[in-house]
């Protein structure tokens, strides 16, 4: 009988036995094989960056056709190019005829967007123009300069609408005066 007990105790020492779960941290350095689920990443591991949502393309150029003028209407074509998120430069050309005469204007605009940006915003700008539009009852070409306020909205299509208002001091040959600037137009932005 002693031999049987001795044999059982010897075989119990030879077989590994799991210690009872005491809830205390284990003294063994790596027990990850016993935890369910995936292994935690090593401390230097960084997950790959999340893909960013594609950004909507920003428009860089707007081409518009507008009706301008209060007393004598002109048809204007304008090209506005983005110089930055808040600034743009535009070229304007217009023509029309009344009283049997042909009238024209060409101009340059600089705009700074106070609210919004080139795509949708409210801009304050400065316009310089050379015109033969018979303003103020005077005849002949004149140079003009003045401030403008412009509102612009670009749809997702990208169709653009805009409106401008301002004043211009015109100086002609032997005459000068202040005239208005009014334009309402639509076009395409790309």
User: Rounded distance, CA 94 to CA 149, Å?
Assistant: 19
Q: pLDDT value at position 61? A: 94
Report the chain (190 residues): mean pLDDT per 10 consecutive residues. 59 53 54 63 76 72 84 84 93 82 89 94 95 67 93 92 93 82 92
Length of the chain: 190
Give the model's pLDDT for residue 113: 96
Beta-bridge partner residues of 93: 77, 106
Q: Which pLDDT does position 178 carry in this prediction? A: 85
Q: Write down the domain spans for the chain.
A: 61-189
The third-level CATH classification (topology) of the domain covering 61-189 is: Porin (2.40.160)
pLDDT for position 3: 65
pLDDT for position 58: 73
Q: To the nearest 10°, the Cα dihedral for 26, 32, 33, 38?
A: 150
Q: Distance of alpha carbon 88 from its chain centroid, rounded?
A: 13
In this predicted structure, what is the pLDDT of residue 104? 86
CB 127 within 8 A of CB 111: no
């Amino acid at each position: 009988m002693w031999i049987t007990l001795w044999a059982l105790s010897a075989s119990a020492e030879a077989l590994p036995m799991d210690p009872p779960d005491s809830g205390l941290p284990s003294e063994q350095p790596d027990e990850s094989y016993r935890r369910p689920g995936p292994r935690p990443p090593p401390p230097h591991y960084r997950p790959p960056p999340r893909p960013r949502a594609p950004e909507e393309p920003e428009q860089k150029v707007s081409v518009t056709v507008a009706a301008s003028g209060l007393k004598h209407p002109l048809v204007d074509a304008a090209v506005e190019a983005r110089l930055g998120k808040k600034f743009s430069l535009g070229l304007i050309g217009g023509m029309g005829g009344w009283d049997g005469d042909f009238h024209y204007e060409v101009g340059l605009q600089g705009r700074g967007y106070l609210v919004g940006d080139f795509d949708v915003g409210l801009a304050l700008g400065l316009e310089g123009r050379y015109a033969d539009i018979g303003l103020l009852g005077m005849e002949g070409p004149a140079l003009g300069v003045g401030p403008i306020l412009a509102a612009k909205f670009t749809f997702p299509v990208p169709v653009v609408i805009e409106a401008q208002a301002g004043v211009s001091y015109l100086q002609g040959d032997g005459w000068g005066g202040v005239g208005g600037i009014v334009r309402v137009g639509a076009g395409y932005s790309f």
